Amino acid sequence: MSIIVDDDTRLVVQGLTGSEGRFHGLRNRAYGTNLIAGVTPGKGGQDVEGVPVLNTVAEAVSAHGANTAMIFVPAPFAADAVYEAVDAGIATVICITEGVPAHDMLRIHTYVHNLGVTLIGPNCPGALSPGKANVGIIPAEIFTAGNIGLVSRSGTLTYQIGHELTQMGLGNSTIVGIGGDPVVGSSFVDILAKFQADPETEYIVMVGEIGGDEEEKAAAFIEAELTKPVVAYIAGFTAPPGKTMGHAGAIISGSSGTAAAKKAALEAKGIRVGTTPTETAEIVAGIARG
């Protein structure tokens, strides 16, 4: 097993004919992901290197059995694309698009949670289950299959930690980038619950950053619900309040959302927090090797 994406993934890419969608969609296919169709309204009947392009997601579901959608359409159309995928019956939606308005995400979040759909992102690198499927922009070649679940709000920082684990001979069950926006489809808690239920995942690494209170919620959830060991890393200890640090969601508002508060909340629940990405990988390696 693994979570979110695996051998059963049947992927439709919304925005496959755009440059980014094409590049990453084909990259995902080259990795072994079962890419079955693309959707670009008005371009139905064309193909992208043999992948059929359709006008609607509904057609990808009814005629091709799509069960996972990846969204690469520009931000002004991303919310509509999520609704279309969910309405077509897609159970897992991964939205890579950056710059989706926060109000769009408030409505979408409420909508998908009411329906039990898994939405990852927006503004995220996607999900990779090494050896099975890659849906998104994660550089799969630096990861190997293994038993460590990795969940993060950041892309390159996750790659860094994953890469260090790989160099230590450790692999990952699934790597999930949940995205750097203030409101994302799946929170740390949502993904932690999936890792807890996944028999292949034995250890979990959670990579947080400043802004919001999802790490604090995760700390309480880990103590109450998780039996698997969790190691955390938090970025942004030296970030000034009121400044957006690259990610729209990475902002300290007043006195809330600081890295120090998150670290304290995690450590209060007995969760180890690394001071650098390297130290975090070393702590995980120490635990995984017993």
Partner 1 sequence: MDLYEYQGKELFRRVGIPVGDGRLATTPGEARQAAEVLGGPVVIKAQVLTGGRGKAGGVKLARNAHEAEEHAKNIIGLDIKGHVVKRLWVEQASDIAKEYYLSLTFDRGVKKPLFMFTTQGGIDIEQVAAETPDALVRLHVDPLEGFNPWQARRLVYGAGVTEPSEQKQIAKIIGQLYDAFVRFDAMLCEVNPLIVTPDGIVKALDSKFTVDDNALYRHPDIAEMRDEDAADPLEALARAKHVTYVKLDGEVGVCGNGAGLTMSTVDVVTFAGGRPANFCDLGGGGDAQGVVDALSVITQDPQVKAVFFNIFGGITRCDEVARGILQALDEMKLELPMVVRLDGTNAEEGRRILAEAAPANLHVSPTMLEAATRAVELAA
For residue 99, give the nearest of 83, 75, 125, 69 by alpha carbon.
Answer: 75
Choose which of 142, 168, 189, 226 interacts with partner 1 (CB under 8 A). 142
Token pair, residue 68, equals: 């996972």
Told to check if 277 binds partner 1 by CB under 8 A, we report: yes
Count of residues touching partner 1 (by CB under 8 A): 60
Question: For partner 1, which is the closer residue by CB, 62 or 110?
Answer: 110
Q: Per CB under 8 A, which region of 32-40, 42-50, 51-59, 107-115 contacts partner 1?
A: 107-115
CA gap 42, 61 in Å, rounded: 18
DSSP letter assigned to residue 77? H
Token pair, residue 233, equals: 């890393």
Question: For partner 1, which is the closer residue by CB, 58 or 142?
Answer: 142
When computed from its CA atoms, the radius of gyration of the chain, rounded to whole angstroms, is 18
CA gap 201, 39 in Å, rounded: 33
In angstroms, what CA-CA distances link 108 with 66, 88, 194, 198?
A: 21, 15, 21, 27
The values of phi and psi at residue 275, to 5°, are -85, -25
Told to check if 190 binds partner 1 by CB under 8 A, we report: no
Min dist CB 46 to partner 1, Å, is 25
Token pair, residue 44, equals: 């139905």
Told to check if 260 binds partner 1 by CB under 8 A, we report: no
**146 and 175 Cβ atoms separated by less than 8 Å:** no
Told to check if 210 binds partner 1 by CB under 8 A, we report: yes
Told to check if 248 binds partner 1 by CB under 8 A, we report: yes
**147 and 173 Cβ atoms separated by less than 8 Å:** yes
Choose which of 121, 146, 180, 229 interacts with partner 1 (CB under 8 A). 180
For residue 258, give the nearest of 184, 208, 205 by alpha carbon.
Answer: 208
Is 64 designated active site? no
Choose which of 30, 243, 260, 268 interacts with partner 1 (CB under 8 A). 243
Told to check if 238 binds partner 1 by CB under 8 A, we report: yes
Amino acid at 106: L
DSSP letter assigned to residue 141? G
Told to check if 207 binds partner 1 by CB under 8 A, we report: yes
Choose which of 193, 244, 269, 272 interacts with partner 1 (CB under 8 A). 244
Choose which of 30, 65, 107, 241 interacts with partner 1 (CB under 8 A). 107
Choose which of 152, 172, 173, 186 interacts with partner 1 (CB under 8 A). 152
Catalytic residues: 247
**Which residues lie near partner 1 (CB under 8 A)?**
27, 75-76, 99-103, 106-107, 109-111, 137-139, 141-142, 152-160, 163, 180-183, 207, 209-210, 212-214, 217, 233, 235-240, 243-250, 254, 259, 275-278
